[in-house]
A and B are shown apart, each in its own frame.
Chain A
Amino acid sequence: METDFTTSRLTGWGRTSPSSARTAEVSRGDVSEFIKDSNRRGVLMRGLGRSYGDAAQNAGGVVLTLKGSAHEAVLDVGAGTLTAGAGVSLHDLLKVIVPQGFFVPVTPGTRFVTVGGAVASDIHGKNHHVEGSFGKHVRRLTLMLADGTIHEIGPEQNPSLFWATVGGMGLTGVILDVTFALIPIETSLCTVNTIRCRNIDVLIEEMSHGDDDHRYSVAWADLLATGSRLGRSVLWRGDHTKLNELSSKDAANALRYEPRHLATVPPVVPSFGFVNKLSSTVFNELWFRKEPRRKEGGHKSIPSYFHPLDAIGSWNRLYGAGGFLQYQFALPFGREDELRQIIEKVAISKTASPLVVLKRFGASNPAPLSFPMPGWTLTVDIPARAEGLGVLLHSIDELVMQSGGRHYLAKDAHTTPLAIRQGYPRLDEWKQIQQSVDPDRRWQSDLARRLELI
């Protein structure tokens, strides 16, 4: 078979640090052929390119995308599980499963991620505090190793390789298909309670006590506000709406699922972008004020509650040619003071865009490189060309390291190998497993080179 590559310049969703690779879209049966055709720069699988930094780039090497169709996915209604190709997106799967009364076990802020990427990044969502990250819901998966052999692994079957693959950033092998548990739902709506919090202390207090009564919980925070309003925020907590909460008219169409596409940002945006201190300040003020102080029981659709940004295609272009990065870290419980200090640093720098999320994590899982840990996670989007950004982020890295916290590999575009070594104390254990299945270093990525993962 002839392997046909295109040379492509790739970036993550943040559109920073481009590198060039030989790329191809392959079907499951052809993967082993394309892997053989790689050079010393190795191979990496790439899904929809939604990791923000360089996780899905492989400079000078091969980058493959796995074809897949949601219609080939197998839904086991009795067991409440779904088996899907790794290249299939949650977007496509939701269109199939929601009308049949099921929801994915974990969804991040976008549904444009693949199943393979969800496992490799061990993604988390608004339900982490009660249901954990994606890996916890995986029953089994098929992995192709560097030598081309195919293996069935799961939490009971070769668990060490399975957990090294969960959160393993695609560096243990090619995930071909995954079986995972679904959440049964009665309606496609969510019942959402809204609470406006005047600062970070109020928010932490509120989340510490009320989160466990709800399946979903996440807060938006204004990281431009300072002083007594530091970290003022809006907390949304929700649950899947039960059928008996709906009027009989609405109940007739309870599982309707129609994600809307509002607009796409055109490829040509002024190079400086539209996200700056002024636009962000105005946005934050309006966003905070539009929410009621406290409201119980409003209904929202799945797309508007879980994936509001997905309605705008290519929204990452709004940051202009310089791109942006999404800085996300977690700190353990008991480190709220450091969390406050970091929020203050960001607020004083006046660099944050309006996209800021605070979430309270629950228990972690056995995967050595899984990001979530019991504690707090803060996510901040910042234009990459913001003045003094490197210095600011290194100083935050210091605080994260001192507090026993860590950075999220799927988002990272800036931190150092040292911060990763300290943040993931089981990195060496993971490396041993990784090397045992990939002695010739077939799997490589820019992220792995930059952070010395392999």
Chain B
Amino acid sequence: MENAVGEVQNILVLGGRSEIGVAIAREMLTPSTQRVTLACRRPDESKEVEASLTREGLRVESVIFDGGDTASHADFIDNIVATSGDLDVVILAFGVLGSQEQCDDDSQSAVKISHTNYTGAVSIAMEVAKRFRQQGHGRLVILSSVAGERTRKANYVYGSTKAGLDAFAQGLSDAMVGTGASVLIVRPGFVHSAMTTGMKAAPFSTTPDVVAKLTVKGLRAGKRIVWTPGILRWVFMVMRHLPIAIWRRLPMG
């Protein structure tokens, strides 16, 4: 359960090796937290992450979860609930950035990205939402991206999956009103992480820790959408309406 100052007991990270997902979980840790579950495809590879979260009185464990394997999602949530009880906070952080060039060569790459980032995310989010309705409380954090605000030629497959996920999350957020549960949509800009190593940073780039701080602040204030960094909200208010001729020419990779 969540207490009066927004501290939670049970955290589930979907995409347990996501730096942003783990950073959010770490930012949420308090003496009230009892369990963090990292759900990822290869749990044996998350030992280091587990160790980085470990502290007295806290149980950290990794479980197998494949965002793309939608058929397994219902059982996955049932099993998690059976072992760890009510889900207080679920952080939906899995996703692949992929490569636009590869997609251009092989349409299956594009299918794979969209399946994981959109179809898989929608599937597990629906299962989480179902569970939230049954338990009468819970918070789902969905990691969207500013890449979905206006897709650009450099990564429009990825951007379009985030656009779809963002639209889905907005609808889900509205649908959860009155159920005791809520959805927080996080729209980070360019985040320096393993996912973006070697890439040229876009303006207003940020780090997983900053995203985590703003996310947790947003959760505790009961917000619906968080931009990280906050200025991107205003930047994209303009970007969204730039004439296409200018937008296409922007030097953003």
Contacts and interface: CB of A to CB of B under 8 A. Distances in A.
A323 B9 CA distance: 20
Contacts of B9: 450
Contact of B136 (A59, A384, A385, A418): A59
A449 B1 contact: yes
Contacts of B6: 390
Given A390-B30, A394-B30, A450-B9, A21 B136 contact: yes
Contact of A16 (B4, B133, B135, B136): B4
Given A17-B2, A60-B136, A390 B7 contact: yes
A61 interface: yes
Given A385-B221, A416-B32, A17 B3 contact: yes
A102 B127 CA distance: 57
Contacts of A59: 1, 86, 135-137, 180
Interface string A5-24: 00101000010111111000
Contacts of A215: none
Interface residues of A, number: 35
Nearest to A10: B180
B57 interface: yes
Given A7-B178, A18-B180, A20-B180, A325 B137 contact: no
Contact of A19 (B30, B32, B57, B180): B180
A450 B30 contact: no
A11 to B, nearest CB: 9
Given A20-B136, A61-B136, A389-B5, A449 B178 contact: no
Interface of A: 7, 9, 14, 16-21, 41, 53-54, 58-61, 321-323, 325, 384-385, 389-390, 393-394, 397, 413-416, 418, 446, 449-450
23 contacts: A17-B137, A18-B137, A18-B180, A20-B179, A41-B135, A53-B3, A53-B4, A59-B1, A59-B137, A60-B137, A325-B4, A385-B5, A385-B221, A393-B5, A394-B30, A394-B32, A413-B4, A414-B3, A414-B32, A418-B57, A449-B85, A449-B86, A450-B3
The 10 A-B pairs with the shortest beta carbon distances in the complex, nearest first, are A20-B180, A59-B136, A60-B136, A413-B4, A16-B4, A450-B1, A19-B137, A20-B136, A60-B135, A325-B4
